[in-house]
Each structure stands twice: as C-alpha cells, then as structure tokens.
Structure 1
Amino acid sequence: MLTRRRLLIAGVSAGTLAALAPVLARADNVKPSLPLKIGFVYVSPIGEAGWTYQHDLGRRAIEAAFGDKVQVRYAENVPEGNDSERVIRDFAADGAGLVFTTTFGYMNPTIRIARQFPRVVFEHATGYKQDKNVGVYAGRYYEGRYLAGIVAGRMSKSGNIGYVAAFPIPEVVMGINAFTRGLRSVNRDAQVRVVWINAWFDPAKERDAADALLAQGADLVTHHTDSTAVVQAAEARGRYAIGYHSDMSRFAPHAHLTAVTHHWESFYTRTTAAVLEGRWVSENVWGGIKDGMVALAPLSAAVPADVAAQVGEQQQAIIDGTLQPFQGPLFDQAGRQVIGAGSTLTDEELLKMNYFVEGVVGRLPK
C-alpha cells in the first residue's frame, strides 16, 4: 500500500477555515443542479472507530445538514492504486459534483480524474497536489499528540512507552516526536520504543506489535494505525493505552486513558455549502486544535484531577499560540541541536521531518 498521509504547508484561521495561499479559483464555478451528488472513497472498512470511521462521521454530517439537497454515496475498503482510480472515475462519470478522496495514495488518481472532469470538485485528504478543481486538507495531529504525551508521562510508572506505527513518513514521525516531547516535558527519563508494521490497517499486525512492546515492559502503548487492536492488547494485559483517530474507550474501558481524535464534520459541511452556493475555490487546509479538527477524547476516570488540569492548561496554551510542540531548544536523539531556544520549527521543516527527537529508542528506517 502506498503511504497515505502527507501533510500540507498551510495554516487555517480559527473557526473559518479561510482560503489560504495558494488559492486556485475555478473559472466555471456555478451553482450545481440539485440534488448535489457527492462521493466518498475510503481506504479501509468504516468499522466502529478509526481513520475511515471519522471521515464517515463527516459524511453523515453532510446528510444531516443538507437533507434532500444532496445525494451521498461511498465506497469503502478501496486499495490505493488502480482500484481507486476506477472508483473515483465512476463517481465522476455518474454525475457527482463533489468527490472526497480520503487517503494519501489516492492523490495522483484524483489529479488525473479531475483533469478529465473539470466541472467536478475534488477534495483530497493529506495530499499536496492541487488543481483548479482539486483542494487538499489535513489536520495538525501533532498538537494532540503532544498533549497525549503529557498524559502518558504522568500516568506511566516505568517510563517505558510503546508506540505502534504504520510507515516512516514525516506525518507519522512528527506524531512520534510530538508525543515524546510531551512525554518528556513531565518525565525527563521516559523513553518511547517504536515498532513499524508497514500498514495503515492490519489488526493482526497491530496486535502482534503491541503485544511485543507490552512483553518488553511497556506499561502504556499508543499507535499511529487504524484499528482498535493496540488498545485492546493493553486491556488484555492490564496496561494503559492512548487511542488514535477515534475515542476507543468502549473497546478498552479500563486501559483507555484518552485518544487523539480527528474531526471532519465542519470541514465537510462547509465545503459542501460552498459547492452548493457556487463559491468553492481550491484551498490548502491544515487545521489543528484551535480549529476543531483535532481534539483529545475525554480523559478516563483513572487520570487524576491535577493531570487533567495540566493537560487543559497546555491545550489552552497551544490554542493561544504560547506553546508550540516543536519550539526550541530541540535536540535529535543523537543529542544534536536542531533549533535553539526562542525558535520554532516552520511548517516546511515539519513536513520534512526525518529524524527522531531525544527520548525515542531505535533507528528511524530509511
């Protein structure tokens, strides 16, 4: 499977998700006939939690908001590659006026099909290629990761944390590093051990990796993969876990401390309204906690009040802009200074992140 998510060099204004440079206006932008046909292409099954599940909540929000003005369909478990190109083309050929393609490996097929259907609007999650009728969007997941790291640092007794990861691309590395930065802001000696599974959604591999980390003494595990297997592994062994994409507490009621969750409802309904009203333009959107696109799931009852208060304070600091997860001084795992005090990594630097920070154990695959 191709790597899925490459984040975008863009910012987003609070509440508005305003247009960001560069913006490519559509020359033929007119109001569509009703109902507006909308297609969603998903890389994995919708299931009950995870990456695709969160996008499907956005699809349902469109149906709830616009009723008979829209006709929404989806295709799930579509592999990245030739199959995705066929599915995207089928939606466009069947009269869709708006198509959401929700994984990085759909990027090139989306661009190719968009050029064949210039009057159809396409929105691609986590890619970086735009066109007059193709916009791109993603979340600043690393902000939530930093806060989750604080929870882990306060709740772990051993300081041995396990992390199940999909592919060694900048987005995933960024999350590992942000989590470790949050972790070591409250527990300087804590360490993060990473196991790579080279898949976004493979519950068996995810479970095996989590079990291996737990067997090596991790008393808390987290993940950048799509299923609930990691939190369930922690539940089975009586350890703690922090979920990803969705609130996974019902799958691990004792283990689950919180989760870094993604929220697409506002973006999807806002985009649909823009298409319906004939005012859509191509945008780069990269929204975080302040914009409501990333959030922590409710903390479990096992998390003490003072820990919850600390997380709340740090979250507000991120919203206010007084805390950046990658502000200096920042050192890589070999002790080399990346940036000094008073500096912060730029978006461009974040999107090229190819090193581990202090506190991550093991080498980053090339």
Structure 2
Amino acid sequence: MTNKTFLALAATLGLTGAALAQDDPIKAGFIYVGPIGDGGWTYQHDQGRLALEEEYGDRVETVYQESVPEGADAERAITQMALGGADIIFTTSFGYMDATNAVAEKFPDVKFEHATGFKRDHPNVSTYDARFYEGRAVLGTLAGHLTETNKIGYIGSFPIPENIQGINSAYLHAKEVNPDVEMVVTWAYTWFDPAKEADAARAMIDQGVDVILQHTDSTAPQAAAEEANANGGRVFTFGQASDMAEFKPEPRVASIIDNWAPYYIERVGAVMDGTWEQQASWGGMAEGEVVIGEITDAVPEEAKAAAEEMIANITDGSYHPFTGPINKQDGSEWLAEGEVAEDGELAGMDFYVEGITGDIPN
C-alpha cells in the first residue's frame, strides 16, 4: 500500500492526526534555573526527569535546557521548547511564572506545569509545589538539639512565601527544643551562586552560628562549613533539595530531599492517557515528595529519635508544623492554641513569627 493510499483510507475511516500518531512518544520538556550538576534543586528535578524516562521507556522523550535566567530569557527558552514539539513543559523555578503563562497563551495545545508558582491564567497551565516547611520543621528540631552557641543560620534565596515558611518552621521547631536559640537570616538574592552562598555561610560562622540551613541550591555552604571544621570549628549543615551526601557524616548531618519523580510520572501519564487537567498540587511527606535523608551518627540519639518521631507524625497527618499557639513577630496572635494554619495563609506568608529579629525585605 502506498503512503497516499494509506492516508486516503485513514481519512475514509475517520482517523484523526492524533490517532495516526498514537505510537509517537510524548515529548516532555524541562526548563532549569541552574545547571543539572548543581547538587541541589536543579539536580533533583533532573533526577525526576530521568525517573520519567525509566518509567516509560520509549513511550516518552525528554528534553531540557539548563541555567535559564528568570525573565525574558525564560520566555524565549520556553517558546523554543514549545516550537520544538514538546507536549508538556515543566518550568522549574518560581521566577518563570509570568513567562510560563505568556507562552501558554500562545500554545493552547501544549500542557505547562510551573513549579512553586500560583498563577494559572490559562486552562493549559498547572502549578505544583512541595511542602518544604514540613522538612524544615524536622531540620529545625535537629538544629535546636545540635547548636552549642544557640545561634542557627538560614540562607534564604528570595523573600517569597516559600522561603519565609521554611525560616519560620525551622525557627519554631528549633526553639521548641532549645528556648535560647536565635536565628540569623541572610538573603542571598539568588537560587544558585556558589560564591555568594559561601560568603553568606562564612559570615554566619564568623557571627558564631554553628548550624546552617539553606534555601539555595549549591553545596558551597557545606564546603564552607567543612573548611571551618578543618580549622578547629564545629559547624553542622543540612543537604538542600538533594542529599548532598558527599559531605556526610558531617558537616552535613541530614537533608531535605525534593522527590519530584512521582509527580512527573503521574502528570506525563495523564497526558498519555488523555486525562490531564489543570490543577494546583502541593504534596509533602505523605505523598513522598518531601523526604528527609539519612540522619548521620554525628547527631545524638535523643535528637535523632525526636526527628524521626516528627517525620512519622507529619507523614500520618497527626501533626502540622504550623499549629498554634503562634504569634507574629510583632507579638500579635496568628494561631490560637491548637489552631492549624490554612493553606491559603501559608501560600501568602509574608511575616516572621515572634522571636525572629530583622525585617523581611521587599
């Protein structure tokens, strides 16, 4: 049968272009804010992409572009990926929000998934996030046990609710086990810049901080702590986004791991079977999206047991990290005794809790 005869027969039978191409793989694209070798955020998203390939084999084709700046460059990169035939595009940084929606309007047949954002201006745009604050509660508990100087540090990327949730959660749980604890917050104004991250960590160490958390993507703070410890210091750190296992057993004594694989597999599967719909997803420990990496033997048994109990309670839903009584920084009541924060409040969090000093920059 000639090609022309086959097409004529297909038309007679009423087959659509989609039916003719049903054996074509789904093309899934990924836009990354950092390099896939960053050891943190982008690395972990790329692990999710690889899990997608392993799950579906030749039924899926994946493409990615790394180190795409937020802003106009992002819109160009997303557009090129859509023009390149992507069926679904995951844009994996908060600052891609407007660019994602702008491109989605021009390509209504392409599905777009934006990580950590909240805008879904078009029916082909979904958002997805993880309840990182659950993991920060566990790390804060460990930090409160580990500090000897009573100073813990937090390197923030940008002053957006996602970061502020983490700072508040870590502080509240550190203070729960150590009422004398103070938190030093430094804003790096970057997701990935090893030099800035290292400088922030060193400055904290100079101020007496001996436990450092971070919401930035590189392993530079781990290396800075390792350097301090080699010179007689005692500084502990936690892996961010990925396990950062090369710094075990210390300074990295535990980690918060973002496991995006289940979400990517689910959403690409929905495109394959035609069930994809717009949604806003916010998974956490219960969904397997927030995982605490190995707690090393550098952590005292009492602290490890407290952390493991909290993991179990958050996972089974018997404990929420933002449960009152909790006051805002100015002393006004936010949550009464036993009251649990609603998701809408957390999604717009723009204040520190009582006890944290300093202002949140605009």
TM-score, L = length of structure 2? 0.90
The sequence identity of aligned pairs, in percent, is 43
Secondary structure, in 3 states, of the residue corresponding to 2:127? Answer: strand
Alignment correspondent of 2:159: 168
The one of 202, 222, 237 aligned to 1:231: 222
- Residues 33, 283 of structure 1: CA spacing in aligned structure 2 closer, same or farther, 3 A cutoff? farther
Q: Give the superposition deviation at 1:253.
A: 4.2
1:349 matched to 2:345? The reply is yes
Alignment partner of 2:327 out of 317, 324, 331? 331
- Hey, what's the Cα distance between the residues in 2 that align with 1:46 and 1:72? 14
Pair 1:195 & 2:186 matched: yes
1:210 counterpart = 2:201: yes
- Are the counterparts in 1 of residues 38 and 218 from structure 2 also a CA contact under 8 Å? no
Specify every segment of 5 or more residues in structure 2 that has no aligned partner in the other structure, as ranges. Answer: 1-17, 230-234
Distance in 2, matches of 1:37 and 1:348, equals 33
CA deviation vs aligned residue, 1:3-59 (integer Å, no higher than 9, x gap): xxxxxxxxxxxxxxxxxxxxxxxxxx9996511111111011111511111100010
TM-score (norm 1): 0.89
CA distance in 1, matches of 2:100, 2:361: 29
* 2:258 alignment partner in structure 1: 262
Distance in 1 between residues matched to 2:23 and 2:224, nearest whole Å: 49
Task: Report if the CA contact (8 A) 1:226-1:245 is conserved.
Answer: yes
d(CA) in 1 for partners of 2:317 and 2:192? 34
- Give, in whole Å, the separation in 2 of the partners of 1:351 and 1:39: 27
After alignment, is 335-344 or 44-53 more displaced? Answer: 335-344
- Larger-Rg structure: 2
What amino acid sits opposite 2:98 in the alignment? N
- Give the number of the structure whose residues are more often helix, by fraction: 2
Q: Does the C-alpha gap of structure 1 residues 273 and 128 become closer, same or farther in structure 2, counting only changes over 3 Å?
A: same
In the alignment, what sits opposite 1:75? Answer: 65
C-alpha deviations, 1:313-350, integer Å up to 9, x for none?
Answer: 11121123221111110022333322210212211111
- Give the equivalent residue in structure 2 for 1:84: 74
**2:296 pairs with 1:296:** no
Whichever residue aligns with residue 82 of structure 1, its letter is A
SS at match of 2:184: strand
Native 8 Å contact 2:249 2:297 kept in 1: no
Letter in 2 for 1:324: H
Residue aligned with 1:171, SS: helix
Give the one of 124, 130, 140 matched to 2:131: 140
Instruction: Tell me, in whole angstroms, the C-alpha distance in 2 between the residues paired with 1:32 and 1:77.
Output: 33
Show the counterpart of 2:303.
307
Give me the whole-angstrom Cα distance separating, in 2, the residues matched to 1:162 and 1:194.
6
Contact 1:203 1:228 in 2 (8 A): yes
1:151 corresponding residue in structure 2:
142
Q: How many residues align?
A: 339
Following superposition, the deviation at residue 363 of structure 1 comes to 2.2
Distance 2:22 2:144 in 1: 51
Matched, 1:186 2:182: no
CA contact (8 A) 1:32 1:276 kept: no
What do the CA deviations read for 1:204-235 (whole angstroms, capped 9, x no partner)?
A: 11111110000011111111111111111111
Do the aligned residues in 1 keep the contact of 2:248 with 2:296 (CA within 8 Å)? no
- Contact 2:38-2:219 at 8 Å conserved across structures: no
Offset from partner CA, 1:171-211 (integer Å, 9 cap, x none): 11110000001101111111111111111111111111110
Cα 1:107–1:220 shift into 2, 3 Å: same
Instruction: Report if the CA contact (8 A) 1:32-1:278 is conserved.
Output: no
Q: Give, in angstroms, the shift of residue 358 of structure 1.
A: 2.7
SS of the equivalent of 2:152 reads strand
Q: 1:125 aligns with which of 103, 115, 133?
A: 115
Which range is displaced more, 200-209 or 354-363? 354-363
Query: Quick one: which amino acid aligns to residue 343 of structure 1?
Result: E
SS of the equivalent of 2:100 reads helix
The 4+ residue runs of structure 1 with deviation greater than 3 A are 29-33
Structure 1: how far apart are the matches of 2:181 and 2:218?
Answer: 26
Secondary structure in 2 matching 1:281: coil
1:224-271 CA-to-partner distances (Å, cap 9, x unmatched) read 111111111111112111221111131354211111111100100111
